[in-house]
Every structure is written in structure tokens, then in C-alpha cells.
Structure 1
């Protein structure tokens, strides 16, 4: 091929390549303009935003009063729920209302309560003598306690009640 034809062929290839790049860029521009026009929509600002002259602060007094009232309601509700769910016997009269005989009432021993609280307090101490000390036994360690006397009265009442009734199996 002569050199002029080679030059024309080379230039025509360059023109085709440039035209292809131009068409690609033109297509890309049209795609971006379409996406831009669809993203804008019909939104416009009607009025500018109104701001407060002072910054907003929490209302401490209102929060304290509401917290107090809410705490009061929750605590009263908890106390009432606990009282309603209690299933134990509070007084001997409750048993007598149902026709159940009460033979004795055994009080809590203050002496034993004091000793067990002292033992629990010293249980985790580093002194070995408190750990190995025996647990107090009320009838042996303090036989004159009112709780021990009540247990004795219960035993006597049960003994006489059993004598009146005959046990059959």
C-alpha cells in the first residue's frame, strides 16, 4: 500500500475511535441529566425554619415531681401486690376462722436471731475460730427462752389432744 493510503486509513481509524468515544460520552451525559432531573422532584422551600431564641432545657422541677409521683405509685402498687400475694398465716385468728384449732403460738427467739446474725456476719471473716464454732441450738444453749417454752407448751397441748382422740389407721 502506498503511504498516502496508509495515512488515510490510520486517520479514518482515529476518527472512528474518536466518534465512538464521543457517542459514549454523549450517552453518559444524557443518563446523568435524566437521573439529575428525576432526583430533584418538585420540592421547594415555602417558609424558612423558625428557631427559638433560647436553647431548649430539660424541665427539672417537672421531672422531679413526675419521678416522685411515678415512684410513689410504683411502690404503693408493689406493696399492695405483695400483700395480696402473701399466702402465709399472720395471726392465730385466721386459722380459728376456718375451724382449725390453735394449740400454741411459737414466737421468734430474739436470742437465736441475734446469735445467727452475728454468726453470718463473722462467717466470712478471716478468723478461724468463728468458722468452726457450732451453730447454736436453742433448747440446749438457752432453755429458758420463750420460744423453747412455747414448744414445750405445744408438746403438752398435743399430748392432751391426742389423749382425747383415738388415732386409727
Structure 2
């Protein structure tokens, strides 16, 4: 248990990545961690799409920058991998978004345990209304309208040291006996 808690405590969001490919075997392990996240009524609503195609990453980076209102911003911090998580509304429209957040959390911890850095990037929900996202889903035989975008995971080898954890804020834990 100590190693799991240490991994949780030392994981940090990484915002600068080496220009180095991540081996597919590591990506499969990270995705597997996401697939094993808890899900409402066991319906397994999250869909996990791993993107390593540089041109496609550039395209979705531009869309994310537009959504953010900050054109020409590298919203994925130069990560060589972007993982898109969406929740299937057909599987469970009540918990699809929450289920996807659990998958992202699992993948962030797994990435850290494997020596990789990650950063949760928002705007997937808005992204699904853009053609590039619709095309991604269509290429996989899926209809983007059947999903809610949950988030992206920028992923790769960290460039430099991990940030230091901020002190934990008070008044966040309570126990009632």
C-alpha cells in the first residue's frame, strides 16, 4: 500500500515534455489502468483514444487553443501523446462524465508509476462539437454525438524536475464516529 500512496502523493502535473516517443507497451499499460477504473453500475462508459500522430495532435491543439481563447498556445505542452477520454452516453448517460474522470485519474497515477509525466487538459467536452473530433470518432466507427468529452491527458517523458507539491489546505478532511 505504501508504494501506491507514495505514487499518489508524488504525482504532479507536467507541463514540459521531452521530444521522445513513448513505447506502445507503456501506453497499453496506462490505458489498461483507465479501463479498470470504477464505473457507474459497472457499465464501463469511458472510451479511451490514444493519439500519437503529430499532425492530429497539432490539429486538436489548435482547436483547444481556440476554445480556450488563446490562439497559438500549445495546450498540450509539447507532449508526444494525447489521450482523449469520452464517456458513452449510451452506456450510462447518468455517470458517463464521472466515469471518465476516474479513468483519467487512474491513468495519471499509472503514468507516474511508469516514469512518465501527464497533465489533465480540459476542453474535450467542447471539442466534440468540432469537425476534427467528429472525424476522430467517425474513423473509429463511433458517432461523437453518442459521447460526452471528459478530458485529455497530455503524456510523455518530463523535461526537467517534477514540481513540488503544494501544502495541503486545511479543513478538507473530517471524521464522524
TM-score, reference length from structure 2 = 0.21
Greater fraction helix: 1
Larger RCO of the pair (alpha carbons < 8 Å, separation 6+) = 2
Which structure's CA Rg is the greater one?
1
Greater strand share, structure number? 2
The TM-score with structure 1 as length reference comes to 0.21
